[in-house]
Chain A
């Protein structure tokens, strides 16, 4: 009986850790994200910050003369891959111009869109149980940021 319980406990633990991001806490993900953005462009100033139990929202902005740079990040730290996926689908439903194009080179699920007028771009991707949205001034920059965030999550 004892052996069965131990095996069951092991299987349940494995199932849990297989479904969520391992190796880092919610705090580490948030701090890591901020460090990446601010380390990459120290001139950016944080203009909005919302940190809750399982989601975070940040805006950074820099403006001088005609130059304008910004980064906006949302992170959803869900209990499971399935919950993170649902959060992503929920976002897709609310976007007036649609979810954008799918891409397969980032995380487990990803969409991106580029504004044809301004050149600004955003990527929304899920990796394990974490769902990120990243928006910034160009596709190149948003791709670099998204790849850095992806590396934060140890599956």
Chain B
């Protein structure tokens, strides 16, 4: 992990003749950067002070204060020239991925957002382990956002909008938010859509009531959770997929590797699992007896 390049402006008093100095930056007792410089007069601007020191090796947020020192005798003795900070620093697992966020409507958001880093690093809680980070972020989103499979409010808006009250979202809102937070800290996790249908572009829809539009494509066995009834019916469900392990921020809990359907249309269409969703829902004419 690399510290971003630092710049430092120093006032030097009294005025001094041109001379070579060394500037160093300390984080606590650790020297994190050195810079040879030439200064003169009462003011010196020294730029491009950078470090490649790994200040942290875990995914977290820190707010260090840096102590700045100067040496006029080639590093034999050092004098304080003040401190700076606190500097807000977000430590990511790897370089953030762009675009960090995409929504259900495939609109992409290329920027890296402070809010996303704030949430992701808080949830990661200083873990260096990829599986733990995945699990922690999954639990963080589940805890922060109330699951309502019927929520239809976030239409083509930024997934971070889920955090504004009321903090409610459907499975797609949850999954897109989790994926964006993961990508903000440099971890990819593609979305996975699950439904019942004959192929990757069609969903077989059966009716729940006598109104044919009130259709779904499968039912699963699950305990009631937040805004979801026990054993709910869905058109589709979406999760975040990591090497065929499915993280479900709507329900939280341990990741799983499959989702058993308890009911599908009477024509018994197979389960579909794809990174993109069906484009054609076809109503079969059959109604669920439940």
Chain B binds chain A: yes
A98 to nearest B CB, angstroms?
5
**CB atoms of A70 and B166 under 8 A apart:** yes
Q: Which of A9-17, A118-126, A143-151 contacts B (4 or more CB under 8 A)?
A: A118-126
Contacts of A116 in B (CB 8 A): 229
Contacts of B102 in A (CB 8 A): none
Q: Which of B21-29, B43-51, B234-242 contacts A (4 or more CB under 8 A)?
A: B234-242
Q: A101 near B: Cβ within 8 Å?
A: yes
Given A57-B157, A116-B229, A124-B152, A98 and B214 contact (CB-CB distance below 8 Å): yes
**CB atoms of B153 and A94 under 8 A apart:** no
Contacts of B172 in A (CB 8 A): 94, 96
B46 to nearest A CB, angstroms?
43
Contact size range, B? 35 or more
Given A57-B161, A117-B224, A95 and B213 contact (CB-CB distance below 8 Å): no
For residue A117, which residue of chain B has the nearest CB? B227
Q: B16 near A: Cβ within 8 Å?
A: no
**CB atoms of B166 and A100 under 8 A apart:** no
Q: B15 near A: Cβ within 8 Å?
A: no
**CB atoms of A101 and B211 under 8 A apart:** yes
In the complex, per-residue mask of A48-81: 1 if CB is within 8 Å of any chain B CB, else 0: 1010000101010101000010101010000000
Return the 3 tightest CB-CB contacts between A and B, nearest first.
Answer: A61-B165, A48-B164, A72-B153
Q: Can you name 22 A-B residue pairings with CB atoms under 8 Å?
A: A47-B165, A57-B157, A57-B161, A59-B165, A61-B166, A70-B165, A72-B166, A74-B153, A96-B170, A96-B171, A96-B172, A96-B238, A97-B150, A97-B232, A98-B215, A99-B214, A100-B152, A102-B211, A113-B152, A122-B151, A122-B152, A135-B151
List the interface of chain A (C-beta within 8 A of B).
47-48, 50, 55, 57, 59, 61, 63, 68, 70, 72, 74, 90-91, 93-102, 111, 113-118, 120, 122, 124, 133, 135
